[in-house]
Amino acid sequence: MITTVQQHILREQQALPEAQGTFSWLLSGITLATKMIQARVRRAGLEDVLGAMGETNVQGEEQQKLDVFANQALLDSLSVRDGVAILVSEENEEPVMFDRAKDTGRYVIFFDPLDGSSNIDVNVSVGTIFSIYRRPEGLENDAPGAVLQPGYKQVAAGYVVYGSSAILVYTAGRGVYGFTLDPSIGAYVLSYDNMKMPAQGKYYSVNEANADAFPAAYREYLAQLRRGDLGKEYSSRYVGSLVADFHRTLLKGGVFLYPPTKSHPGGKLRLMYEANPLAFIAEQAGGMATNGRERILDLQPNSIHQRTPFVIGSKVEMEAFARRTEAVEANADVWAPAI
Ligand code: AHM
Ligand code: MG
């Protein structure tokens, strides 16, 4: 007997008596949008051929860029759900606010509609990431207060990786579950029950072209992994789509790092759309996530688009990272980009 994501969410919701169906209605908005996005991603090469021939799509519109399409699909399918109070997208400068009664519009949703979009043209996996918070009581008219919440307050988070199949992974704080889209029935079906990250993996994942600029703490840690100090011979993998790199880390273990660099001294990845949701999933699966010095989920955001250094992975690698960085902490320079 298969379990669809919809059935799974309904079951989860029974454990959240105050959710009253809103939560599943809201998640169904997200799954619908991701099915639309994956259909477009699958046609990406074709659309280019048609676009190059000067053809327009069936609605007679010019071909839209995929990231614009993905953003619009999420905005459209979520804005009609009255549980949504505020939508915050990596693609929109400002949050989109809805005028909903305070006991109806109870959720604030963040999303990165199409992560890794530079990989589309070369047929490499991309993804969608989402993160859900409650709108805090008393802050209905206070947008900054309602959106700038630390990651530990997330009620649910997840992503879809559009890879060799489309896989949805989510947590509502009671374990991590993975669902594979079965194209023959158009439904996400449970394929990974109660996912756990291996305690140690054999891959590290980082853009090594930036290595000369990494702060010393990171360079020394990577050297440790290469030397085999953790009792394993590490290999490296780097897709350049965070969702794909994280998905591998979740399944196989290991560590992903995006340290401060010369061009991004504060880190490149976004706290609210990328680091927080993946950190929530990692912790639920037995892993850890930090900005180099503090737990990601404890960080108090000061802007919706803020960036952060990001290190996420298995327990063994993350504990070794913490030991390494504590050991060099005395020297403040180890945290500055090197060049
Ligand atoms: P994007 O939002 O422009 O797609 O950038 C985010 C992506 C992540 O998916 C990925 O981890 C990272 O950028 C790769 O960056 P780089 O090319 O600097 O290694
Ligand atoms: Mg992104």
CA angle 206, 158, 291 (to 5 degrees): 40
Which residue has its alpha carbon closest to ligand 1 atom 5? Answer: 116
What is the pLDDT, as a whole number, of residue 105?
85
Cβ 286 under 6 angstroms from ligand 1: no
- As a whole number of angstroms, the distance between CA 178 and CA 175 comes to 10
Distance between Cα 147 and ligand 2 center (Å): 18
> Reduced to 3 states, what is the DSSP secondary structure of residue 308?
strand
| Fold adopted by 5-192 | Fructose-1,6-Bisphosphatase; Chain A, domain 1 (3.30.540)
* 207 CA closest ligand 1 atom index: 19
Which residue has its alpha carbon closest to ligand 1 atom 7? Answer: 116
Cβ 116 under 6 angstroms from ligand 1: yes
CA dihedral angle for residue 56, residue 70, residue 91, residue 88, rounded to 10 degrees: 140
pLDDT-derived band of residue 5, with 50, 70 and 90 as boundaries? Answer: very high
Mean predicted confidence (pLDDT) in 30-59? 74
Spatial CA neighbour of 111 closest among 143, 139, 84, 138: 84
Ligand 1 probe mutation, 111, 129, 258, most atoms within 8 A of CB: 258
* 90 CA closest ligand 1 atom index: 2
The DSSP 8-state label assigned to residue 272 in this structure reads: I
Tokens of 83: 């549980």
pLDDT-derived band of residue 58, with 50, 70 and 90 as boundaries? Answer: very low
pLDDT for 338 beyond 70: no
What is the pLDDT, as a whole number, of residue 298?
98
> Reduced to 3 states, what is the DSSP secondary structure of residue 149?
coil
Which ligand is closest in space to the CA of residue 310? 1
Mean predicted confidence (pLDDT) in 53-82? 76
Do the domains 5-192 and 203-331 sit in the same CATH topology, yes or no?
Answer: no
The pTM of the full predicted model, rounded to 2 decimals, is 0.93
pLDDT-derived band of residue 274, with 50, 70 and 90 as boundaries? Answer: very high
Say what percent of the chain tops pLDDT 90: 72
CB-neighbour burial class of residue 7 (10 A; exposed 0-12, middle 13-18, buried 19+): middle
Which ligand is closest in space to the CA of residue 238? 1
**Greatest extent of the chain over all pairs of C-alpha atoms, in Å:** 63
Distance between Cα 175 and ligand 2 center (Å): 24
Distance of CA 248 to the CA centre of its chain: 13
pLDDT for 98 beyond 70: yes
Cβ 207 under 6 angstroms from ligand 1: yes
Do residues 299 and 151 lie in contact, with contact meaning Cβ atoms separated by under 8 Å? yes
DSSP β-bridge partners for residue 190: 179
What is the pLDDT, as a whole number, of residue 252?
98
- As a whole number of angstroms, the distance between CA 313 and CA 275 comes to 12
What is the tens place of the pLDDT at every residue in 224-260? 999 999 999 999 999 999 999 999 999 999 999 999 9
pLDDT for 336 beyond 70: no
Cβ 67 under 6 angstroms from ligand 1: no
Mean predicted confidence (pLDDT) in 136-145? 73
Strands 156-162 and 288-290 turn out to be unpaired
DSSP β-bridge partners for residue 179: 168, 190
Cβ 270 under 6 angstroms from ligand 1: no
* 117 CA closest ligand 1 atom index: 4
pLDDT-derived band of residue 143, with 50, 70 and 90 as boundaries? Answer: confident
Cβ 257 under 6 angstroms from ligand 1: no
Distance between Cα 259 and ligand 2 center (Å): 16
pLDDT for 25 beyond 50: yes
Ligand 1 probe mutation, 124, 241, 272, most atoms within 8 A of CB: 241
Please report, for the chain, the start and end positions of each structural domain, with discontinuous segments joined by +.
Answer: 5-192, 203-331
More confident residue, 71 or 15: 71
pLDDT for 48 beyond 50: yes
Supply φ then ψ for residue 174, to 5 degrees: -130, 55
Residue with tokens 């063994």, as numbered in its chain: 316
Residues whose Cβ atom is located within 5 A of ion ligand 2: 112, 115
The amino acid occupying position 33 is A
In the chain, where do the E strands start and end?
A: 84-89, 96-97, 107-115, 126-134, 156-162, 166-171, 176-182, 187-192, 203-205, 235-236, 255-258, 269-270, 288-290, 307-308, 310-313
* 241 CA closest ligand 1 atom index: 9
Domain 203-331 -> CATH class: alpha beta
Supply φ then ψ for residue 288, to 5 degrees: -145, 160
Residue with tokens 């010369």, as numbered in its chain: 262
pLDDT for 164 beyond 80: yes
What is the tens place of the pLDDT at every residue in 117-138? 888 888 899 999 999 999 888 7
pLDDT-derived band of residue 60, with 50, 70 and 90 as boundaries? Answer: very low
Do residues 236 and 204 lie in contact, with contact meaning Cβ atoms separated by under 8 Å? yes
What is the pLDDT, as a whole number, of residue 46?
75
- As a whole number of angstroms, the distance between CA 257 and CA 325 comes to 14
* 118 CA closest ligand 1 atom index: 4
- As a whole number of angstroms, the distance between CA 29 and CA 39 comes to 16
Cβ 117 under 6 angstroms from ligand 1: yes
